[in-house]
Amino acid sequence: DIQMTQSPSSLPASVGDRLTITCRASQSINNNLNWYQHKPGQAPKLLIYAASTLQSGVPSRFSGSGSGTDFTLTISSLQPEDFATYFCQQSFNAFRTFGQGTKVDI
Amino acid sequence: QLQLQESGPGLVKPSETLSLTCTVPDDSMRSSGYFWGWIRQPPGKGLEWIASIYYNGATHYNPSLKSRVAISIDTSKNQFSLTLSSLTAADTAVYYCARDCISSGPWYFDLWGRGTLVTVSS
């Protein structure tokens, strides 16, 4: 299986901050990388798919980049509603694997 | 906001079999553009993909769980289901169902349920 290593695991932040979360795959996955936002008690929400394509309805302050093994999720200016856990997921093959998650909190 | 809905028992005993059902709120289950999957998250741990199924019954399973898992689909009811046998405490987790969009390019889970907590305990 493809291992996904996400960092950091925890990210203290303030409103207005620019944040970057990284995800590294154990082998090349081309651009088969997705990012999700998850808040407690809610359904996870797709933010970015295919490494850099913004899902419909997601604010433009979210962006994704990368290809091969190294990927980043950037939030250009953190808003109060962005405090949540973010995780990456590879879809290079049918055996989907996820990063361990990054909790963004105050 | 559109979302899937998981249902099932919150508490099951060790060695028993867990059965979960996911209800899809629209007719997308009959579309060729989606797989339908189950994912779980044990307390304090990351997400683990369990299995996925296509509208025609084609399946994919996580090799580490394949011997204990079965996934099925009933498009007439807009539901798909998961059974997990020989339960242990390690199967305690929040179980999510999700829609896996495969219509073009890289695949992604574009719609999820809120999850249902399953505790394995005597």
* Residue B104 pLDDT greater than 80, yes or no: no
Q: What is the pLDDT of residue B2?
A: 83
Tokens for B79? 């539901």
CA A39: distance to chain centroid? 13
Q: Write out chain A residues lying below 8 Å of B96, CB-based.
A: 43-44
Q: How far is B95 from chain A (nearest CA, A)?
A: 11
B44 contacts: CB under 8 Å, gap ≥ 6: none
* Order of strands, sheet of A70-75, starting from the edge strand that comes earlier in the sequence: A4-7, A19-25, A70-75, A62-67
Q: What is the pLDDT of residue A75?
A: 98
pLDDT under 70 in chain A at which residues? none
Tokens for A8? 């950091």
DSSP symbol at B113 = B
* Residue B27 pLDDT greater than 90, yes or no: no
Chain position carrying tokens 């867990």: B18
Q: At B68, phi and psi to the nearest 5?
A: -115, -5
For residue A8, cis peptide bond before it (omega within 30 degrees of 0) = yes
Which residues share a beta bridge with A20? A74
**Average model confidence (pLDDT) for chain B?**
95
Mean pLDDT over B83-102 rounds to 97
pLDDT digits (tens, 9 = 90+) for A61-89: 999 999 999 999 999 999 999 999 999 99
Q: What is the pLDDT of residue B1?
A: 72
A95 and B63 in contact by Cβ < 8 A? yes
Q: How far is B41 from chain A (nearest CA, A)?
A: 10
pLDDT digits (tens, 9 = 90+) for B51-63: 999 999 999 999 9
Q: pLDDT tier at B73 (50, 70, 90 boundaries)?
A: very high
pLDDT digits (tens, 9 = 90+) for B5-14: 999 999 999 9
CB atoms inside a 10 Å sphere around CB B84: 25
Torsion of CA A11, A70, B53, B41, to 10 degrees: -20
User: Within an 8 Å CB–CB cutoff, is residue A99 touching chain B?
Assistant: yes
Shortest CA distance to B56 belongs to which of B78, B88, B32?
B32
Q: How far is B61 from chain A (nearest CA, A)?
A: 7
Share of chain B above pLDDT 90, in %: 89
